[in-house]
Amino acid sequence: MGNPPVPSADQIISALSSTGFLFEQKAANILEDTETGWAFKDPDLGTSREIDLFKVGSVYDHDQKYRTFEISWYILGECKNYQWPWVALTKPWGARRWFLTSDDLSLTQAMRFHLGIDDEGMALANRDEETFFQGYQRVRAEALPRAVQLVKLNKKSGGWDAASGDIFNDVTYPLAKASNFLKTRFDDRQEQGYLGSSREMQVIFPVLVVSSQIYAVSANGDPEVKEVGQVTLERTLSSENVSGRFRIDVVHIDHLRDWYEQRVRSVVDYLADSLTFSNEGLRGVKDSFRRSSGS
């Protein structure tokens, strides 16, 4: 028997690059303090499932009566090292007055009471003054184009094909499941009394990080093509275990740091400003790294 083949360093790097493992690590390094291969319980199968990226941070403070105010934010990410471009069909965002709740934002009852939003309804939304949820939707949604469909281009002899392919099963549904897992865990802790009278909110940022170009194509009137660095894919799901309106930011790897600094932190800043109860506001800022318990 001859000696077994031994790969060169370049061949090892090439093999890892072709599978996307190095791309995933690159994205995690850009975001910093980010876990890869984060596990959660799949609500459909009851088994462990993983998403590529997980990052958590928080801001917190106490008032003069030592009551806790805390905002936790989570980044849930999938990474796709795809060779050809992505295309997002875009339409304008709807009127903010209809967005009175959000599936990516959870609040304890004590927090809702502090913000005065328990009785917020359509009549309040029609007033001139912006409501808490309207402001959240403005900061969260309107900064990026709204994509109603995401497809991949495939090069073929003599031209290109466009197809949604496995995007739903590989991107949309896993991120929706992971988001739903965090939201359900928050709601369960509140229902079981673990959160007590604490004033807490949780905001989730699902993101798809891609290596190739993103093109936005207007779906209103005559199509117009524009290369962009980021879009927000909005999809409504309705199944036995996962339902709601989910928004997934699609971000080119070269824009990932800007997305975190200018989008994630701007939303957190808006939420923190909403909680200001003194001239100092929320003093603590903590970018932390936590590992999922999977339960």
H or E segment and range at residue 66 = none
Task: Flag the least confident range among 7-11, 119-123, 230-234.
Answer: 119-123
Task: Tokens for 32, please give them.
Answer: 């910093």
Give the range among 90-94, 267-271, 281-285 with minimum mean pLDDT: 281-285
Confirm if 235 and 172 have CB atoms less than 8 A apart.
yes
Rounded average pLDDT over 183-187: 89
Residue 276 clears pLDDT 80, i.e. is over it: no
pLDDT at 124: 47
Helix (H, G, I), strand (E, B) or coil at 157: coil
Q: Does the pLDDT at position 96 exceed 60?
A: no
Bridge partners, residue 36, by sequence: 53
Residue 273 has pLDDT above 50, yes or no: yes
Residue 291 or residue 129, greater confidence: 129
Lowest-confidence range among 67-76, 257-266, 269-278? 269-278
Residue 133 pLDDT > 50: yes
Q: What is the mean pLDDT of residues 216-233?
A: 92
User: pLDDT-based confidence at 217, cuts 50/70/90?
Assistant: very high
Band of pLDDT at residue 4, cut at 50, 70 and 90: confident
For residue 87, the cross-strand partners are 151, 215
| pTM attached to this predicted model | 0.85
pLDDT-derived band at 279, boundaries 50, 70, 90: very low
Q: What is the DSSP letter of 46?
A: S
Is the confidence at residue 290, as pLDDT, over 90?
no
**What are the tokens at 15?**
């093999």
**Residue 12 pLDDT > 90:** no
Asked if residue 170 lies in contact with residue 164, where contact means CB atoms within 8 angstroms, the answer is no
Query: Confidence class of residue 269 from pLDDT cuts 50, 70 and 90?
Result: confident
Q: Average pLDDT for residues 3-22, to the nearest whole number?
A: 81
Percent of the chain with pLDDT over 90: 39
